[in-house]
Amino acid sequence: MFSLFPGVIVLLLTHSLTWFLVSMILVNILGLSRKNIFLAISFHVLKPMAGLFGGEGFAAEEMVITLGSEKTLKKLGGGVPPGRILLLLPHCLQRHDCQRRITYDPYNCVRCGRCPIGDLLDLVDRTGVRIAIATGGTLARRHVKETRPIAVVAVACPRDLGQGMLDAHPVPVAGVENTRPVGDCLDTQVDIPTVERRIRELMSPSSAESQVSDQELLKGREFSSDS
């Protein structure tokens, strides 16, 4: 086993160096944000490490969720009109035996209380944000493209949320992990107060940033000029 250790170290160093060189090209030649590139590169470096050392495999995703959400809230907190915030939810929050079709119209939900969707619709009604429900990454990207939000509050499992936040660039995302009491992709749950806090942090005055104009946000200046 120990005889393989030097080879593993060389492999990891080579992997890291490759992604570092890619990041320099993206930053200096294509002019992309250093912070966004840092998240993407760190994700691709950490992901294989977790597998090699027997980890659960979500350390890289957790890093993207935490740092990406902090960046979004710092940049946009207090400056986003509620109608330009999209609450993006996974279909697995709905009870698996529910007959209501809510993917294309969340308001088909009758709010029976058997799953979190009804409470999330109540939250949308209170705050005035938009809502969309996706069955996977393709539909999630379509919702973002069609609604053109300034910011997204996304709920998903760590694997899908971390990768999705990277895929959503340059749209800023604040993430909330769901819980999976009976396993992945089945009758999942989410902490409603945490979702509401994320939304209101984007809507409420922020100590770090002043109000940001809608025009500036649409130009994406905050997410293309980070040093």
Give the pLDDT confidence of 24-45 residue by residue, as tens digits.
Answer: 544 444 444 555 555 555 555 5
Q: How confident is the model at residue 59, as a pLDDT?
A: 73
Question: Which of 21-30, 113-122, 162-171 is modeled with the greatest confidence?
Answer: 113-122
User: Strand 173-177 and strand 130-134: pairing?
Assistant: unpaired
Is the pLDDT at 22 greater than 70? The verdict is no
Mean pLDDT calculated for residue range 129-157: 95
Closest alpha carbon to 198 in 89, 90, 112: 89
Helices (H), 29-108: 34-52, 59-76
Q: How confident is the model at residue 180, as a pLDDT?
A: 94
Total Cβ atoms within 10 A of residue 55? 13
Q: How confident is the model at residue 222, as a pLDDT?
A: 39
Helix pair angle (137-147, 158-167), 10° resolution: 40
Residue 161 contacts residue 154 (beta carbons within 8 Å) = yes
Please classify residue 21 by burial: count the beta carbons closer than 10 Å to its beta carbon, then call 0-12 exposed, 13-18 middle and 19+ buried.
exposed
Distance CA 141, CA 151 (A): 13
Distance CA 108, CA 200 (A): 25
Structure tokens at 97: 């035996």
CA dihedral 162, 66, 12, 184 (to 10 degrees): -40
Please classify residue 131 by burial: count the beta carbons closer than 10 Å to its beta carbon, then call 0-12 exposed, 13-18 middle and 19+ buried.
buried
Closest alpha carbon to 124 in 147, 101, 99: 147
Q: In Å, how far are 17, 60, 134 from 27, measured between CA atoms?
A: 15, 21, 32
Q: What is the mean pLDDT of the chain?
A: 78
Distance CA 94, CA 102 (A): 9
